Amino acid sequence: MGLSAYSLYAYDTAWLLAHAINAFFDQGGNISISNDSRLAALQGGSLHLDAMNIFNGGNLLHQNILQVNITGVTGKVKFNPDGNLIRPAYDVINVKDWLIIGLIILVYQLCLLKLFTQGLVIVPALVRNYTVLYGLAKRHRSPVDAWVFPNNGRHLRIRVPNRVGYCEFVSRVPGTDMFAGHCIDVFTAAINLLPYAVPHGDGAIWRWS
């Protein structure tokens, strides 16, 4: 499967559960199960849900999971009051070839993967107080020509959907013509890593629709 945001999450999840279970036992918790009376009404079904048991210490373990505060390979592992992970990680995917070219882990942090024929190599470097993994994906067909300089005076134009769902990825800032979100953070981080300027609009000229 290779390295991805999911494999990094799986590694951090193991440590997350280890810390939560350790706290669970320190608080006097024990492993015990019992029948759930609420499932008795489902007796006789083909799924046999009435045979399922529940973990009696589930509420305490759940609270310990929400209180875990560690630093893993994906960054800070901590939950907000709503139970959502703070600063989650996402894969950055080249949609055309379905090639994972990097990970966005923390806010304004872009991690690019360095791919070679002999395997995957991660090269860390410190830039502006956060870790960036520089890389170049070698293609099986032809190399990627990244050295394209703007010379026609036109700015890069990107169409952004103005939707009511998944606003954390991209959404219009109320009262302005600007957009914000994880997608904007990835774009900004990638532009900042380039060794040349890429003129692009800021929403002031090309209005949203």
DSSP codes, 61-79: HHHHHHH--EEETTEEE-B
Q: What is the pLDDT of residue 34?
A: 87
Domain spans in the chain, listed from the N-terminal domain onward: 5-77, 89-142, 145-209
pLDDT digits (tens, 9 = 90+) for 74-129: 778 888 888 887 766 555 555 555 455 555 544 434 444 433 333 433 333 333 32
Specify burial of residue 121 (Cβ count, 10 A radius: 0-12, 13-18, 19+).
Answer: exposed
Residues whose CB is less than 8 angstroms from the CB of residue 172 and which lie 6 or more positions away in sequence, other chains included: 162, 178, 179, 208
Q: Give the pLDDT confidence of 154-203 residue by residue, as tens digits.
A: 666 667 777 777 777 888 888 887 888 877 877 777 777 766 677 766 55
Whether pTM > 0.85 for this model: the answer is no
